[in-house]
């Protein structure tokens, strides 16, 4: 039993101290997404469009190309009242009975980002008391060069396709 424990203890040290010449370099990997763009900006609260139950603004962002719109991804965060970045969409609620709720959503198309604030109870003009000027952080992720092989639209199924695969 002692011999077994001794070998069990010594063998890992023998292999840990092995060294030798380095093998040949492996093949190059496929290209990934390397051109991720991040933009940070603030907005003057007085420049928001005021509607009955929402505030919104549209910002020109040329880096959101048609290709990004069709096959890439745009993510938005707000820093607001805290020093933390909060990913959008975001809903804030306070209280338990008929709480005031604020939702922050975003949408985008080629060249533009649109951010909206909605409220359930608070007068929309009072939302300006919340830190809506930002800063906002926009992360733009272009489609990868493997797009034709990994594009989710190639894998869409409709109800008839699912039913016929039973």
Most confident of the following: 4-18, 26-40, 105-119: 105-119
Higher confidence at residue 162 or residue 118?
Answer: 118
Query: What pLDDT was estimated at residue 48?
Result: 78
Query: What pLDDT was estimated at residue 62?
Result: 95
Domain boundaries, position 99:
37-145
Tell me how many domains the chain contains.
Answer: 1
Instruction: State the pLDDT confidence band at 152, using cuts at 50, 70 and 90.
Output: very low
- Give a yes or no: residue 128 inside a domain: yes
User: What is the Cα–Cα distance from 112 to 39, expressed in whole angstroms?
Assistant: 13
Token representation of residue 39: 């933009």
- Domain of 50, CATH number, reads 2.40.30
- Give a yes or no: residue 156 inside a domain: no
Instruction: State the pLDDT confidence band at 125, using cuts at 50, 70 and 90.
Output: low
Of 4-18, 110-124, 136-150, minimum mean pLDDT range: 4-18
pLDDT at 139 over 90: yes
Higher confidence at residue 23 or residue 135?
Answer: 135
pLDDT at 78 over 80: yes
- Give a yes or no: residue 151 inside a domain: no
- Give a yes or no: residue 117 inside a domain: yes
- Give a yes or no: residue 130 inside a domain: yes
Instruction: Pick the closest to residue 43 from 23, 63, 57 (CA basis).
Output: 57
CB atoms within 10 A of CB 100: 15
Query: What pLDDT was estimated at residue 165?
Result: 46
- Give a yes or no: residue 139 inside a domain: yes
CA-based radius of gyration for the chain: 26
Instruction: State the pLDDT confidence band at 149, using cuts at 50, 70 and 90.
Output: very low
């Amino acid at each position: 039993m002692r011999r077994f424990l001794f070998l069990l203890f010594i063998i890992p040290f023998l292999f840990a101290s092995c060294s030798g010449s380095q093998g040949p370099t492996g093949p190059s990997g496929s290209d990934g997404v390397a051109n991720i763009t991040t933009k940070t900006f603030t907005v003057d609260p007085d420049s928001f469009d005021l509607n009955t139950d929402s505030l919104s603004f549209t910002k020109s962002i040329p880096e959101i190309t048609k290709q990004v719109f069709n096959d890439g991804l745009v993510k938005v965060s707000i820093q607001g009242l805290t020093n933390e970045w909060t990913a959008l969409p975001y809903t804030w609620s306070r209280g338990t009975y008929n709480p005031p709720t604020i939702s922050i959503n975003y949408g985008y198309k080629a060249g533009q980002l649109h951010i909206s604030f909605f409220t359930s109870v608070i007068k929309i003009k009072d939302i300006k008391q919340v830190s809506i000027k930002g800063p906002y952080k926009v992360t733009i992720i272009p489609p990868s060069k493997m797009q034709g092989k990994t594009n989710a639209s190639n894998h869409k199924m409709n109800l008839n396709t699912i039913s016929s695969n039973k």
